[in-house]
Amino acid sequence: MQTVRAYVGLGANLGDARATLTAAVHALGALPGVSLAGVSRLYATAPVEVTDQPEFHNAVVGLDVPPGPAGPGATGPIALLLALKSIERAFGRKERFRYGPRELDLDLLLFGEERIAVERPEEGRSLDPAKATRLLEVPHPEVGRRLFVLAPLADLAPDLVPPGWTESIGQARARRESIEGASAVRPIGRWDADSGAWAELDA
């Protein structure tokens, strides 16, 4: 079966974030027609925008997923987005203000070579004006601006140049690290495929 490589960002800073992200990796790998292609290191990251909250744990997962029809109405990315939102709800995700604390945050970062922008319905914006105006945009518009995304993504695909970009993921990580400082992201675990969990880096 033909597949497309997608990358999903994971984040959490409420409860046992490490255990939550571990379980989320397994939930992603268990989606119908999806196979786990790679798991980044686990990072402890400083919160951005709203800094008065616990530090986050962040990671990125590579998934091989069904492509769906291509083009502006591509169903593959939208189907994956809906699956991500379903997993978030299953893990107790509550709607809060933008950039606030999260039980679990799953973001579709990249979907093969697709470039898609799907507008959020007007009624969805009126419920929460802080929500982004786009329901889905890939590549995710925050990827190149957030070290907490670039660091784990660079673990899996440092040489990848996303559609519309002029630099690789690894180059973007180095650029953001020079701005935010290396201390903004701290690797705290490496994925052990045998145990299905992040092991300590010195283990």
Query: Which amino acid is residue 97, in one-letter code?
Result: F
pLDDT at 182 over 90: no
For all residues of the chain together, what is the average pLDDT?
A: 84
Q: What local confidence, expressed as pLDDT, does residue 28 receive?
A: 95
pLDDT at 22 over 70: yes
The DSSP output letter for 55 is P
| DSSP β-bridge partners for residue 35 | 64
Please compute the mean of the pLDDT values over residues 198-203 and round it to a whole number: 80
Please compute the mean of the pLDDT values over residues 112-117 and round it to a whole number: 85
Tokens found for residue 110: 């990249």
pTM to 2 decimals?
0.87
Give the three-class secondary structure for 132.
coil
Q: What local confidence, expressed as pLDDT, does residue 6 receive?
A: 96
Please compute the mean of the pLDDT values over residues 18-45 and round it to a whole number: 95
Please compute the mean of the pLDDT values over residues 166-193 and round it to a whole number: 94
% of the chain residues with pLDDT over 70: 80
Give the three-class secondary structure for 139.
coil
Asked if 48 and 142 touch (Cβ cutoff 8 Å), the reply is no
Residues with Cβ within 8 Å of 139's Cβ and at least 6 positions away in sequence, in order, are 109, 110, 115, 162, 163, 164, 165
pLDDT at 73 over 70: no
Query: Domains (ranges, CATH) in the chain?
Result: 4-199 (3.30.70.560)
Query: Which amino acid is residue 75, in one-letter code?
Result: T
What is the band of 70 on the pLDDT scale with cuts at 50, 70, 90?
A: low
Task: Name which residue leads in pLDDT, 168 or 33.
Answer: 168
The DSSP output letter for 66 is -
Q: What local confidence, expressed as pLDDT, does residue 94 receive?
A: 64
* 38-64 residue pLDDT tens: 999 999 998 776 666 788 999 999 999
In 10-146, where does DSSP find H-type helix? 17-29, 75-90, 122-127
* 123-178 residue pLDDT tens: 433 333 434 445 678 888 889 889 999 999 999 999 999 999 999 999 999 999 99
Return d(Cα 77, Cα 67) in angstroms, integer: 8
Tokens found for residue 164: 């519309």
Q: What local confidence, expressed as pLDDT, does residue 126 receive?
A: 38
Instruction: Give how far Cα 170 sits from Cα of 8, 51, 57, 183, Å.
Output: 17, 26, 20, 17
What is the band of 75 on the pLDDT scale with cuts at 50, 70, 90?
A: low
Burial 20-36 (b: 16+ CB within 10 A, else e): bbbbbbebbeebeebeb
Asked if 57 and 9 touch (Cβ cutoff 8 Å), the reply is no
Report, as residue numbers or ranges, the catalytic residues.
93, 102, 105, 107
The secondary structure of 73-91 as a DSSP string is T-HHHHHHHHHHHHHHHHT
